[in-house]
Amino acid sequence: MDVLTTKNLTKTYHGRNVVDNVNMHVEKGDIYGFIGRNGAGKTTLMKMVCGLTSTSSGGFELFGSNDLGAGRKKIGCVIEQPALYPGMTARENLVYYSKMQGCEKTTDIDAMLHLVGLPDTGKKKSKKFSLGMKQRLSIAIALLGEPDFLVLDEPMNGLDPAGIREIREMLLDLHEKRQITILMSSHILGELGKIATKYGIINSGRLVEEFGAEELEERSKHYLHIAADDSDRACRILTQEFAVEKYKVMEDQSICVYDRIEEPAAINQALVQNNVMVSYLAVEGQDMEMYFVERMGGM
């Protein structure tokens, strides 16, 4: 089941579509990494989904329904800056927000503080928290209504490596133990790669593409690219002498080899010694970050 399905979702500001006919699919159980440059439309789309701004055209469904009011009751969100009361402790912030949301009778504040790694903050005011602590407290507030869907705008932005790791581990824990579907934007592509199960890339308001983590791994995989005068003989040599199992013969009869790519010199020597004329041999491919950068519009 799709937790979120957008249908030509559009938001126009001053005659410009900052979100432009987006068709997005976030399925139940996804950790959906939403990727794009600043100003690409990520935050605006999240605001529309969470009811913080209106749509200009198109629409969306939540949990397979057009009843957005009911659907939004199942959403927790942290959009832009953490909305905390600086003169309150972590506990006081949680008590205040649980009362405001009408869930104070069902909220175990101590359990929530433990869940987000803030059990020992005591009387410390939130204005004295580190950015990572503020992010975790904001996520705790978003979890007060026991949502099924968590929408997070740059939850790792500005954090040091320890803070990033804490947020990452907390989100994985929420996903695994509470079965929460997560939509999160982030500029830290390496960290997204450690937790995301699905990706969407947005550029200038338009959704460029969506794909799963396994598909990304295939797309960004490095390989040994070989052009030779006899691809059949070359493949036999690769399988017999190097035990290569993962390779593909392309339409132009060049060969992409995904095994033993750390041995280009030895492979080249073996091919030549077996009367295969090699005109091109090089390790090709791109890492995940370069793949994303290209699809976000280049450097």
Residue 205 lies in a domain: yes
Spatial contact of 267 and 242, defined as CB atoms under 8 Å apart = yes
Q: Which of 9-13, 142-146, 290-294 has the lowest mean pLDDT?
A: 290-294
- Give the pLDDT band of residue 137 (cuts 50, 70, 90): very high
Q: Does the pLDDT value for residue 82 go beyond 80?
A: no
Q: Which two tokens stand for residue 12?
A: 């126009």
Which residues sit opposite 264 in a β-bridge?
none
Domain co-membership, 201 together with 228: no
Q: Mark whether 77 and 177 lie in a shared domain.
A: yes
Give the separation between CA 193 and CA 188, rounded to whole angstroms: 9
**106 in the same domain as 85:** yes
Do 187 and 159 belong to one domain? yes
Same domain, 184 and 246: no
Domain membership of residue 297 (yes or no) is no
Number of domains within the chain: 2
Residue 230, token pair as written in the block: 């006899």
Query: Do the Cβ atoms of 61 and 5 come closer than 8 Å?
Result: yes
For residues 64-82, average pLDDT: 91
275 and 135 within one domain:
no
Range of the domain at 236: 220-289
| Alpha helices per DSSP H over the chain | 42-50, 68-72, 90-100, 109-115, 131-142, 161-178, 189-195, 213-219, 231-242, 264-273, 288-295
Tokens of 214: 């396994």
**What rounded mean pLDDT belongs to the chain?**
90
3-state secondary structure of 78: strand
Specify whether 53 is located in the same domain as 174: yes
Q: Do 112 and 143 form a contact (C-beta atoms < 8 A)?
A: yes
Question: In 186-257, where does DSSP find H-type helix?
Answer: 189-195, 213-219, 231-242
CB 17 within 8 A of CB 205: yes
Specify the pLDDT at position 287: 67
In a domain, 61, yes or no: yes
User: What type of residue sits at position 20?
Assistant: D
pLDDT over 50 (residue 299): no
Is the pLDDT at 272 greater than 80, yes or no? yes
Which of 166, 187, 212 represents a domain boundary (last residue)? 212
Same domain as 251, residue 152 = no
278 & 142 share domain: no
